[in-house]
Amino acid sequence: MYTPIHLMIVDDHTLFREGVKALLSTTTDIVVVGEAADGVNAVQQFRELHPQVILMDINMPDSNGIDATRAILADDPQAGVIMVTMLEDDASVFTAMRAGARGYVLKGANPQEMLGVIRAVAEGQALFGPAIAARIASFFHEIRNTKASPMLREKNERDDDLTQLSVRERDVLELITAGYNNTEIAHRLVISPKTVRNHITHIFYRLHAQTLELEQKTNELKKAGQVQESLLPENLPEIPGWELAVALEPAHETSGDFYDFLPLPDGKVGMVIADVTDKGMSAALYMALSRSLWRTFALDHPIEPELTMTETNRHILADTHGGLFITLFYGILNPHDGNFTYCSAGHHPALLIRAKDSSIEELAHTGIPLGVFDDASWSQEYVEIKPGDALVLYTDGITDAQNTAEECFDLERLRGVVKTHHGKPARELLETLLGQVHTWVGTASQFDDITLMVIVREKSAC
């Protein structure tokens, strides 16, 4: 015996609900058994009516469509929820799919497309339109590139192969993106329309699994980032006659950069800024290990930074086998006389700008990065920071910051900004430098972690 598809419409606009009902009045295989104007009422009606398919709006009062979808599918995982909305941004699309929706249709879709999606979902299939297919293709590209190593990622960005899908699934997805319907796709690929629908469903479920996996990993990374952030100094040391300002802007949830301050005997202060030469969780773990080792050996050798470097390097290589290395600048400040002793393990040159004549001295590296050779050694250097002078320490996220034309901010531009704006308080100088970098980058994505530290010796009172 023939049984029509039982459908429920959930939308806070009466006009839309009436329009869908008018469309369905011309069919005999789809029957509207209920309607709701908000998510809470939708869940209640679903439990009473048990429709096979639900047309669900996203933005509604009381409870949005995403929450309502989760509640409905918790009751019945076989329910076919189709998101019907004006929203076509990536966040809305993939949030709906993580919630378990099996279709996503824009309200501007033509009537035949709407009917096709309802029938396909009622049969246990999944369906989406060309605009959504294009976003799905982009998503799989992004997933692939995220999982690849930095070297492979550069290659893959030039590769149109969607490695997370089978060859036939990629063909189907590309044809949907091009605007072909299922019948046309079947003809072009010499397969049956049912096989096309099966491929679409597989794409949808694969996407659902990938988005759930990505969400889980993102949440884990956020937690890791919070733990990592707790390792940074909660407050900057207060040093009479000196101003300190620091900022760390991770490119992702976790960071390979770090900075720290350590009180040493005789009122001296150890300060470090470092950059692990990788990204992601591996860099974050190296960052935590390197910071811990530095603090241990800095206390063991409070006036010998070169020995701190040697011991830190030796233990990094003994405790890890990941092939990463760390550039690190470690300085010991005597705030009473301005003497600054430092070692630089392959780090970008710190910039010391003199108040007297606006000249800039570069504090170059005094040895190779940490984690390369276990018998490496470092020399220490000395400089005096005089009243009014400013010392700028940074990681390569500053100088390598790229704009949309892939042009780097570079060291000379940084020197120019420092020279132009020196004499400002430490916090103001730091914010000016960051502002210049952000302006340079514009709408381009942040590629690397950015860390900036500014130390200013206050001018002597007259």
Contact present, 279 and 252 (Cβ < 8 Å): yes
Nearest to 92 by CA among 121, 66, 62: 66
- Across 182-209, b (16+ Cβ under 10 Å) vs e yields beebbeebebeeeebbbbbbbbbebbbe
Poorest-confidence range of 36-50, 179-193, 293-307, 404-418?
A: 179-193
Measured between alpha carbons, how far is 225 from 76 in angstroms, rounded to an integer?
36
Q: Tokens 């990536």 map to which residue? A: 90
Tell me the C-alpha distance between 82 and 67, whole Å.
14
- Residue-by-residue DSSP string for 176-233: HHTT--HHHHHHHHTS-HHHHHHHHHHHHHHHHHHHHHHHHHHHHHHHHHHHHHHHS-
For residues 168 and 4, the model is more confident at: 4
The amino acid at residue 267 is G
Q: Which residue has the tokens 């063991």?
A: 300
Domains of the chain are 5-221 (3.40.50.2300), 232-457 (3.60.40.10)
DSSP structural state of residue 446? P
294: helix, strand or coil: helix
pLDDT higher than threshold 80 for residue 20: yes
Q: In the structure encoding, which two tokens stand for residue 281, read together?
A: 């969780």
- Tens-digit pLDDT profile for residues 100-133: 888 888 887 778 878 888 888 888 777 666 666 7
CA 372 to chain centre: 29
- For 380, counting Cβ atoms within 10 Å of its Cβ (0-12 exposed, 13-18 middle, 19+ buried), the class is buried
**What band does 156 get if pLDDT is binned at 50, 70 and 90?**
very low
Q: What is the pLDDT of residues 367-422, one digit of tens each?
A: 999 988 888 999 999 999 999 999 999 999 899 999 988 899 999 999 999 999 98
Q: What is the pLDDT of residue 230?
A: 60
Question: Most confidently modeled of 124-128, 135-139, 216-220, 247-251?
Answer: 247-251
Rounded to the nearest integer, the mean pLDDT of the chain is 83
Query: Please, are residues 123 and 147 in contact by the beta-carbon 8 Å criterion?
Result: no
User: What does the DSSP assignment read for 76-114?
Assistant: -TT-EEEEEES--SHHHHHHHHHHT-SEEEETTS-HHHH
Integer CA distances (angstroms), 269 to 90, 239, 262, 342, in order:
48, 9, 6, 12
